[in-house]
Amino acid sequence: MEASVVSPVRVAIVGTGHVGATFAYALLLSGLAAEIVLINRDAADAEGEAMDLAHATPLVRPARVWAGGYADCAGAAVVVITAGATQGEHDSRLDLAEQNGAIFRSIVPQIARYTTTAVLVVATNPVDVLTYATIQLSGLPPGRVIGSGTILDTSRLQSLLGERLGVDPRSVHADVIGEHGDNQVPVWSLATVGGAPVRDAARSLGVPFDAGTERELAKATREAAHRVVDRKGATYYAVATGLMRIVEAIVRDQRTVLTVSTLADHEPGDDGICFSMPAMIGAQGVHRIVQLPLDADERHALRRSTDTLRKATSAYDRR
């Protein structure tokens, strides 16, 4: 029999906690991947998750799901990294840089040892610093490393805005850019609903909406993770769905524009930092970043965001 020339789409997931396991489940249901390999420091946990997922395959779509090692990253189209510690109730995401930076120093070289062709997608926090770390540690072209960045904050803002205006959140376009963290920047000047600027759309819909509403929704978006963690201990459904959207854009070469963290903003004498801007994503990772015509306040806020990340990234670099 001739060998098949079709390679099954393989996605490797490193870290099988809340985020990794939820993403694996969403991926299984989507049918996008024929092979899903779960890698975890805690091998029994990865095995348990793989068994549980494999038991669902007859009811959804065929896929081979197994607990593996870094060697299984060979041939993967995408490796999604979710391993690491999570923020405590009062921590900021940047507080995790030291602990998760050390974890990345141990795992990324192992991934890079087995694949030079996969796109690496990072979810672990602080995601902007660790996306930068992954580029440095893997030696991959920067476009092949994508941080989930503010895809989650953008989704949260669109969800809150849709709720406030009483419209399907998919009819809302509003991006959050910059740091996935306390210095994120909602881009109100370019936010639209059904093609109309958001304040005009709100007026047509008969919903009061002014600068105070924008501040209130921005705060709810910024504090969303803490609000969820206070109630149920962790966030994972929305981020896992954001990871799904990124992986779909890669696996199907969709050239989708999503707010994700990529290497940008080079200053003379540094290697740049990672932060989120709308970026076109396809099979090779990030093709292009879309530059936004921000207003003066947004440019100022983005500068504050990138200054914070520059400090956090150089602190990571010095370790």
Binding footprint of ligand NAD on the chain (CB under 6 A): 14-20, 40-42, 45, 82-87, 96, 100, 103, 106-107, 123-125, 127, 148, 152, 180, 234-236, 239
Helix ranges restricted to H, the chain: 18-30, 43-54, 97-114, 127-138, 151-165, 198-205, 211-222, 224-232, 237-251, 296-318
Distance CA 266, CA 136 (A): 15
Contact between 151 and 123 (Cβ < 8 Å): no
Closer to ligand NAD by Cβ: residue 67 or 239 = 239
Distance CA 301, CA 255 (A): 28
Burial level of 83, CB count in 10 A (0-12/13-18/19+)? Answer: buried
Closer to ligand NAD by Cβ: residue 169 or 197 = 169
Taking the CA atoms of 318, 314, 139 and 67 in sequence, report the sign of the dihedral they define. Answer: positive
Closer to ligand NAD by Cβ: residue 121 or 165 = 121
Q: Compute the least distance from the CB of residue 39 to ligand NAD, in Å.
A: 7
Catalytic residue status for 180? yes
Distance CA 240, CA 11 (A): 14
Q: Compute the least distance from the CB of residue 112 to ligand NAD, in Å.
A: 15
Closer to ligand NAD by Cβ: residue 15 or 142 = 15
Pick the catalytic residue: 18, 55, 173, 180? 180
The β-bridge partners of 11 are 36, 78
Catalytically annotated residues: 180
